[in-house]
Structure 1
Amino acid sequence: MDSRQRTLAAVRPHGRTGVELGPLDRPLVHRGDGDILYADHLSTDDLARKYAGHAAAGPRARGALVEVDLVLDRQTLAQALGDRGSVDYIVASHVIEHLPDPVGWLRDCAEALHEDGLLFLAVPDMRFTFDRGRTLTTVGDLVGASLTRPTGPSPAQVYEHFSRAVQVDAKAVWAGRETRFPLFTGHGPEAGLEHARRIHEAGGTIDVHCSVFTPDSFVSVLGEVIAIGLVPFAFAEFTPTQPGEIEFFALMRKCEGLAPVKRAAFTPRSDRPAPRPAAPGWRSRLSNARRLGDPR
């Protein structure tokens, strides 16, 4: 299945109300699939201006973008929904990795969902993207961000992006043709330091991947975040990166009121070097993440 087919199979939009976050010109849920609202941090006109001439984003003319129903600038999704109330599901494709505070964002998503509502995530696998040279995000990274509540990427995250972003050939990785992929033009340690210093001294924000994951690390890290009671979700389904693809999928179910486990038995491990969908062991960690009320 492609990304859209996986999304429809997971959230079953017909007869339900949902929100897709940041669809731009490639929504996974279409208007004809069900009652869907499109949300983004800017209006449609402002998005068209932002991405005009943006080399990485590609051509995004005003007419190609979906019409944004909910503008999230300076408000949560629940606040933007207002009198519409909570929804049955939320879809977020390649969103969570951009967020300075993923835990806070997950809590915001939970606030906008009905009890037992679904959050469907498509997440880039760093082994097959420009993040390949970066260090995996840890539970400590997410916990720290949840306490400090940053509104933009940290200087460290900015440095990591600009110093290590590489031009990855995903097909070569899957084929086992390991090589040293070149940095993007204008990137490297010096550029990383320059951008990090600018963010630190002048403030403001810049769009980078604040978090990087593999399927195994995502299950492990999010599982522990769930286990210690920071977010009211449990894993409902998980699809690791399939051969030839660059992303994995997680279906999360809102589980308000479940007690956190007394002991988090999740062992993060890096499966970055291997061109495999996931390292052995992610199924057992996923099972643990589902059993929120089991203190074993």
Structure 2
Amino acid sequence: MTARQRALDAVCPSGRLGVELGPLNRPLIRREDGDILYADHRTTDDLRAKYAGHESVIGPDAQPIVEVDLVLEHQTLAEALGPRAPVDYIVASHVMEHIADPLGWLNELAAVLREGGVIFLAVPDKRFTFDFHRRPSTTADLVGHHLAGARLASPTQVFDYVSRVAEVDPFAVWAGRERNPKPIFEGQLARALADARNVAAHGSYYDAHCTVYTPASFLEIFREVIELGLIPFEIARIDPTERNTIEFFVTLRKREVASPAERAAATPTLDGRRHDELPEVPVRGLRRRLALALRMLRTGSIRGSEEGRHG
């Protein structure tokens, strides 16, 4: 299933009112699918000007940028929606990782979502993106930035992002190659410190991946924050990263009527070895298959010496 097919399956847009955040020129939910409102921090004309040099957005073969219905630059989603709230669903593809305080953001979305409504998230899997060298975020990271009321990426988030981003070929990672990708640019640590200092001094906006996840780490974090009662959702479904792709999909359902413990208990489970660690190196050759089969019988895994060789 494509991301669009997964979104349609999750939100069932026909006859319902929904919002898609930051669709740009590739909305997952289209006008013909149902009553959909497109929201972004800029107007359509502003977005066209911002991406004028981006072939994938403005180029001759690109789809046109959608007409923005809700401009969020100087108002909340609740303010932008006004009497049209509550809505039945919200779609956000590759948005949450840019939010300094994901828990606060999810609570803002919950405020305009009816009971039983869903949020569909497409989230990059750090194992196959430029976040490859970064450690997954923790519950402490999300709770800390939430309690601080973070509105912009913090110096810590900026430094971690800039100092670790790498040139990653996701197909090579899936195939067991390029397990130690190179930094995106030279002088990475010095640049990270300079950018973090600038954010600390001026409180300026910096577009970074503020949080980082694998499918398994996402479930671990959000089960805990749900149990703590910090967000009024349960994880209704997770579709982990498929081979040769870079993202996974999460459906959150608003259930304020249930207790935090009940909502946390509904969290799906995933095999951490498959959905948190790097994928197994493909086995080639009969002799090699036999050797790895023996290792599996002895240790329960074909990892070990392979990981040392490939990163």
Structure-1 residue corresponding to 2:164: 164
| Structure ID, larger Rg | 2
In the alignment, what sits opposite 1:274? 278
Aligned to 2:58: 60
**Is the contact made by 2:216 and 2:276 (CA closer than 8 Å) also made in structure 1?**
no
The separation in 2 between residues aligned to 1:63 and 1:130, in whole angstroms, is: 25
Percent identity over the alignment?
52
Deviations 1:256-276 (A, max 9, x none): 1322229x8999979654227
Q: CA deviation at 1:31?
A: 0.4
Please identify which structure carries the higher helix content.
2
Instruction: List per-residue Cα deviations over 1:56-115 (Å, max 9, x = no partner).
Output: x84437982100000112322122100112110000000100001100010011111111
In 2, distance between residues paired with 1:63 and 1:122? 20
Q: Which runs of 5+ in 1 are unaligned?
A: 277-296
Instruction: Describe the superposition over 1:215-243 as per-residue Cα deviations: whole angstroms up to 9, x where unpaired.
Output: 00001101111111000000111101011
Matches within 5 A, 1:118-157: 118-157=118-157
Cα displacement (A) at 1:161:
1.5
* Structure 2: stretches of 5+ with no match in the other structure: 281-311
| SS of structure 1 residue aligned to 2:260 | coil
**How far is the alpha carbon of 1:157 from its aligned partner?**
1.0
Moved more, 44-53 or 114-123: 44-53
The offset of 1:155, in angstroms, is: 0.7
SS in 1 for 2:244: coil
User: Matched residues in 2 for 1:220 and 1:272: separation?
Assistant: 11
TM-score scaled by structure 1?
A: 0.86
Partner residue, 1:286: none
Single out whichever of 198-207 and 85-94 deviates more from structure 2.
198-207
Equivalent in the alignment of 2:3: 3
- Partner of 1:229 in structure 2? 229
Deviation readout 1:179-205 (Å, 9 max, x if unpaired):
321111356111111111111112211
Q: Which residue is 1:240 aligned to?
A: 240
Alignment of 1:39-50 (within 5 A): 39-50=39-50
The number of residue pairs the alignment matches comes to 274
In 2, Cα distance between equivalents of 1:127 and 1:183: 15
Compared CA separation, residues 96 and 254, structure 1 to 2 (3 A): same
- How far is 1:156 from its partner? 1.1
TM-score, with normalisation over the residues of structure 2? 0.82
Give the CA RMSD over aligned residues: 2.4
Match of 1:177 in 2: 177
